[in-house]
Structure 1
């Protein structure tokens, strides 16, 4: 009989690892959602309801031999996974790929895709009715969201507030300059190095006019605001020997072979790892390839395992379908043409349509 590999989490890394192992093991993919959510396209989905269905991919065609279990892992320890339903899964290998939470709308917080789409459509209606938008957080999400809003509604006033002194400080100065230039052309206001004195009275995403000011006395009046910061790794299900490798911030300690420290048959990938690198969809996919190769090697009796080495800082940051900039290994800083070429109108939906055996329109 084939060994059983239980993959916890059907996001970018988990789905790719499950697909890669489907032909060599009995794969069980566990995820509470009824469809994969393509978070790369989430912000486009808020401003363009016609794009919204393209970011949901049902799991039913992902695996040819294995199965997808729609459930939530509540206790995971070496060799055994306990689900919220009470079912227990025996596992020869476990892949921890539960990713992270992030404030809506950059990520969906609902497991049912129909309910999630309703929430995005409601957010679109609220955003449509707002003349002034406040975004808290000048990281990639806040900047990209501003670009998406301006691409559809150039007349809306958009201001981004962040206590940091500059945008994208981990990247090259040329990238920051290019993004700043395009934001200025879009008339996006940046209030950096000056946090709000207090949060708006309304909830994030709730329409309603409010007045706030920053510690530098920048006064802001807006009709809606969104939180664009706050990554939280999902690892509270770890138990037994695995609980010991869960760090205070929720990340999981891994070796350079992406095995959980102290474990030979448990791997972790994506946002939950303690690897010092930007946590992106592409990173999770690269992790997945290393994990799949190493599980295949172990199944085949080999002791030679592949190692993962973080690459240089890289980013593809769109500002709407035709704007943005990139910093790519070996290419340096590139402008809007490259950002549009790699992401642009498609935002990689075609690539994931191939992975999940579906078509995008």
Structure 2
């Protein structure tokens, strides 16, 4: 490796699904610095299982220690990201030939992960499990993938516990996928005892704080009554932008995302890349998409360093695999078609935990 290659400084902001791929892929050719406030990587797609099943709780936290052999991890928060530099909350300034924004989205549990320290995050997950264990009936607002998977995890872990999902959308998954998939999801949820109320949301949320046990009664917009003593909002993710410097903040779309070209470069900035939830790539925001975007962004930075053609990113077509408890699930993908429970469990039963432990170099 030529010494001039290692002079290229790459600062990756965010150590989620996209950020770890970029960092690992460029570690051999560039001076990589990964900026991440969390103590460990959190395998978020398995978080709902971890909240319901204590056996999973510690497994979703994977150390960053083995991710980089040449680069470094800085446990800090980006205070200002500009083309060519990143200023940290601690006051340190990192100069960069290339900046990769992989900051993801933010939301309260269950749509997001709470706590930056491993012990704190474990404590909060334990508190959620304890609340679920004490509750006599649970209300979930939002019938997207998070709400449906969480409902199934609760119903499977506490058989007979009333679980109600409410959403103003007229169809499951907003009608985005096939009728066969929606019918199978509804069937499996029904078999688990989950009640799904569609087409009428709540005018106001319950008086009890989300995630806190306390009896309440709510009435949907069409007059359906729900009695419960624990509720969660399974929606509401936002894209943080306070850390963006003026050049990048000006580029944000009305939805708060950064527009990117086919090479995943922020428009108007040839050496600033954005991957995952933070960009406006027209596809469902998933860990799989973020990882693939990380591969393409890393390949393009490598091409700019070494010389060579850039790779165009091709957004994934709509696809989904829902985990509906340890023994259930349903999905649809263009390359496979409809996936029943057995096929879904085969794909998602382990949440690819081993793959991510391998990527992060965890023993």
Counterpart of 1:130 in structure 2 is 135
Q: Is the 8 A contact 1:16 1:288 kept in 2?
A: yes
- Distance in structure 2 (CA, Å) of the matches to 1:163 and 1:106: 18
1:163 corresponds, among 168, 180, 200, to 168
Counterpart of 1:277 in structure 2 is 283
Q: Is the 8 A contact 2:29 2:302 kept in 1?
A: yes
How many residue pairs get matched? 357
- Distance in structure 1 (CA, Å) of the matches to 2:239 and 2:108: 12
**CA offset digits 1:212-232 (Å, max 9, x no partner):** 100111001001000000121
Compute the TM-score of the two structures, normalised by the length of structure 1: 0.97
- Partner of 1:232, secondary structure, is coil
- Distance in structure 1 (CA, Å) of the matches to 2:242 and 2:299: 27
Compute the TM-score of the two structures, normalised by the length of structure 2: 0.96
Counterpart of 1:85 in structure 2 is 90
Counterpart of 2:34 in structure 1 is 29
- Distance in structure 2 (CA, Å) of the matches to 1:257 and 1:241: 19
Following superposition, the deviation at residue 86 of structure 1 comes to 0.3
2:213 corresponds, among 196, 207, 216, to 207
Q: Which sections of structure 1, spanning at least 5 residues, go unmatched?
A: none
Counterpart of 2:64 in structure 1 is 59
Counterpart of 1:76 in structure 2 is 81
- Distance in structure 2 (CA, Å) of the matches to 1:129 and 1:106: 21
Q: Is the 8 A contact 2:138 2:229 kept in 1?
A: yes
1:246 corresponds, among 252, 256, 259, to 252
CA RMSD of aligned residues (A): 1.0
- Distance in structure 2 (CA, Å) of the matches to 1:265 and 1:352: 27
- Distance in structure 2 (CA, Å) of the matches to 1:150 and 1:186: 6
**CA offset digits 1:30-58 (Å, max 9, x no partner):** 01111111110110111111211011111
- Distance in structure 1 (CA, Å) of the matches to 2:195 and 2:110: 21
Matches within 5 A, 1:1-361: 1=4, 2=6, 3-168=8-173, 169-302=175-308, 304-344=309-349, 346-359=350-363
Following superposition, the deviation at residue 320 of structure 1 comes to 0.8
- Partner of 1:100, secondary structure, is coil
Following superposition, the deviation at residue 235 of structure 1 comes to 2.5
**CA offset digits 1:108-133 (Å, max 9, x no partner):** 12111101100110110110011200
Q: 4+ runs of 1 displaced by more than 6 Å?
A: none
**CA offset digits 1:190-209 (Å, max 9, x no partner):** 11110113210111101011
Q: Which sections of structure 2, spanning at least 5 residues, go unmatched?
A: none
- Distance in structure 2 (CA, Å) of the matches to 1:164 and 1:208: 27
**CA offset digits 1:159-208 (Å, max 9, x no partner):** 00001001111111111111011111111111111011321011110101
- Distance in structure 2 (CA, Å) of the matches to 1:235 and 1:258: 18
- Partner of 1:33, secondary structure, is coil
Worse-matched range after superposition: 177-186 or 241-250: 241-250
- Partner of 1:282, secondary structure, is helix
